[in-house]
Amino acid sequence: MPNLRHYQLMLFFAVAVSLTACHSRKLTVRNTNNPGINMPVKRGPYVMVKPERSIADKYSAMMGLKRDDIQNGRLYNFIDEWMGVPYRFGGMDKDGVDCSGLVFLLQLQVYDMPVPRTCAMQVNNIKRKYEEELKEGDLVFFDFDGKQFSHVGVYLQNGYIVHASTRRGVVIVKLHDRGIYQYFSRGGSVLDPASVMVPENQQTNY
């Protein structure tokens, strides 16, 4: 007849299996370039959803557009949720987010498109475009502090971008604003990361 210790062991394994099963139902994304990142996210599949009228009114006025020009409800809802969140190096939540973290979350939650976590890797994940070819959702890179591709944002419409500013947090600004355009370096559309080769010696700065 099994003793008390045997029953205790059986109970322990039953609980462990139960917890593992519950955990497996939570959708998480692990970034293999940064093994420490393992966080729950809201994601796709990507479907264009029209915005609420209040959101369309708000962002069309902000960017000098017609209300009907604001079509991607997922994008502008995401921006509205994150607007004003302060900058925090390495941050990935509403307590603080850095530029590449914002791009990482936006691309995943809005477009169901995984991208690398850092600026230096994200820049290898785009199809380059001329500035006049940029479309909503494309990435734009900047060379701040004399460092190549040290900052990233997302192009919107009518010459506006959204990015996590070190001084102002998540904000929408004109790409041609004096304080940022002089550092503009590159832009392009996001590629499927499975098709992108990243050099082994690639930098990992944010």
Selected catalytic residue, list 6, 22, 163, 176: 163
pLDDT of residue 196: 56
Is 151 labeled as catalytic in the residue annotation? yes
Selected catalytic residue, list 6, 22, 23, 99: 99
Q: What is the residue whose two structure tokens read 């939650």?
A: 109
Neighbouring C-alpha atoms within 13 Å toward the C-beta of 174: 8
pLDDT of residue 42: 53
Sheet arrangement for strand 139-142: 126-128, 184-190, 139-142, 151-155, 160-165, 169-174
The pLDDT tens digits of the residues spanning 43-61 come to 556 788 999 999 999 999 9
pLDDT of residue 203: 45
Task: Domains for the chain: give ranges and CATH numbers.
Answer: 31-195 (3.90.1720.10)
Is 163 labeled as catalytic in the residue annotation? yes
Integer Cα distance of 148 and 141 in angstroms: 9
Query: pLDDT under 50 in the chain at which residues?
Result: 1-2, 4, 6-41, 198, 201-206
Helical pair 53-63 and 73-82, crossing angle rounded to 10 deg: 80
Is 99 labeled as catalytic in the residue annotation? yes
> 26 near 39, Cβ under 8 Å?
no
